[in-house]
Amino acid sequence: MLPKYSFIVPIYNEEETIYEMYRRISQVMNQMDGPVELCLINDGSRDRSLYIMRELHQKDPRVVYLSLARNFGHQIAVTAGLNFVRGQVVVILDADLQDPPELIPEMVNLWQQGYQIIYAQRTKRRQEGWFKRFTAYAFYRLLKNLADVDIPTDTGDFCLLDRQVVDVLNSMPERNRYIRGLRSWVGFNQTAIRFERDPRFAGDVKYTFHKSFALAINGLVSFSKVPLRLSTYVGLLAAIVALFMCLLVLYWRIFLPHSPLTGITIILIAFFFLGAVQLISIGILGEYIGRIYEEVKQRPLYTLSEVTGFEQQKSGVRSRESEVN
Ligand code: UDP
Ligand code: MG
């Protein structure tokens, strides 16, 4: 029998959290009104995570798993899960129990009322450092102002998706998967539930500063063209400033011929200012061109080394292309 509910959990070096995550999620699974699959995605873990996943699958056939051939990153791991799960209702949550699985019944309730996307919005982050809280706060507000679509603030990937939405997401060809952005972009009947984000159950944060920064840039560049326009604006501003300085120099030459501020100072300032503006603009341009390059390469999004428990799909490792087309 095909599952009605699919829970997707990406896993990267989570040996300390998996058992507890399974314990809490399986309590929720037992309450559901139809068959459930728990789809774990091993994102190239270097610890015992994959062995634990195999063990859980042996004990409980509702646990199915994919193993990516290396660490592809959280967003890609979730994408792989979305490609494979079979449920009518799909829930994405983190392995570290920061997204409490006990909220799922409430989300399903809203689904039954006709909502197709229910995303969880955090009202509080318990025990996360001020730096993370501040940067996240600032970033979500910046994104909201710059993005072409309305991406709700303070929402992560914890959400419930209807099958119709999952099919649309799977058919989107882009390689830059900023899931919370794509989820807003697709439309449909969306609503939020609010929750307080718990601290990580165990282990270290797997999203290093570098990965979070890359994710943030990805979100901005994938959903906004404002940064490109920025260089035009700064260019205009620089032109006005330059004109003003011309007038200033003219004034000095005529009325204050002995001014200590010589032409060379002004030239140096202008030189550095314009140089900086140009370098930043090239950098911004590069972000977009780099993405065009990624898209045209048409590489598969991920490679799989193991696919277990998806009975209907035993034919082996499928490429993402055959999944999409
Ligand atoms: N994760 C992943 N691949 C990565 C980094 C993280 O699959 O390269 C998973 C991780 O195992 C966890 C989730 O993504 O289930 C969120 O990671 P984490 O809790 O470290 O980040 P947070 O969002 O809490 O800062
Ligand atoms: Mg976490």
* Total length of the chain: 325
Tokens 């959400």 sit on residue? 159
Alpha carbons 80 and 306: distance in angstroms, whole number: 12
Reported as a single tens digit per residue, the pLDDT across 150-159 is 888 888 889 9
Reported as a single tens digit per residue, the pLDDT across 228-287 is 777 777 777 877 887 787 787 778 778 877 766 666 767 777 787 777 778 778 878 888
Where residue 298 falls (left for φ over 0; alpha for ψ -120 to 50; beta otherwise) is: left
Ligand 2 midpoint to CA 205 (Å): 6
Contacts of 172 (CB under 8 A, 6+ apart): 182
Q: Tell me which DSSP letter residue 174 carries.
A: -
* pLDDT score recorded for residue 262: 64
Alpha carbons 311 and 1: distance in angstroms, whole number: 10
Alpha carbons 158 and 143: distance in angstroms, whole number: 18
Pocket test for ligand 1, best of 94, 154, 197, 301 (most atoms within 8 A of CB): 94
pLDDT bracket for residue 170 (50, 70, 90): very high
Alpha carbons 85 and 78: distance in angstroms, whole number: 11
Reported as a single tens digit per residue, the pLDDT across 9-67 is 999 999 999 999 999 999 999 999 999 999 999 999 999 999 999 999 999 999 999 99
Tokens 């120099």 sit on residue? 249
Ligand 1 midpoint to CA 314 (Å): 28
For the packed helices 18-31 and 104-112, what is the interaxial angle rounded to 10 degrees? Answer: 40
Alpha carbons 8 and 89: distance in angstroms, whole number: 11
Reported as a single tens digit per residue, the pLDDT across 77-88 is 999 999 999 999
Classified as helix, coil or strand, 302 is: coil
Reported as a single tens digit per residue, the pLDDT across 53-100 is 999 999 999 999 999 999 999 999 999 999 999 999 999 999 988 889
Q: Global pTM?
A: 0.74
Ligand 2 midpoint to CA 98 (Å): 6
Token pair in block for residue 240: 């006005």
Contact 69, 304 (CB under 8 A): yes
Ligand 1 atom at minimal distance to the Cα of residue 212? 25
Q: Which residues surround ligand 2, an ion (CB under 5 A)?
A: 96, 98, 200
Alpha carbons 16 and 204: distance in angstroms, whole number: 10
Pocket of ligand 1, beta carbon within 6 A: 10-12, 14, 43, 71, 73-74, 77, 94-96, 98, 200, 205-207
pLDDT bracket for residue 323 (50, 70, 90): very low
Question: Cα 33 to the chain's mean position, in Å?
Answer: 30
* pLDDT score recorded for residue 173: 80
Phi, psi of 79 (to 5 degrees): -60, -45
Token pair in block for residue 226: 């404002």
* pLDDT score recorded for residue 130: 80
* pLDDT score recorded for residue 181: 84
Alpha carbons 62 and 59: distance in angstroms, whole number: 9
* pLDDT score recorded for residue 261: 64
Ligand 1 midpoint to CA 208 (Å): 9
Q: Which residues pair with 39 in a beta bridge?
A: 8, 64
∠ at Cα 167 (83, 146), nearest 5°?
95
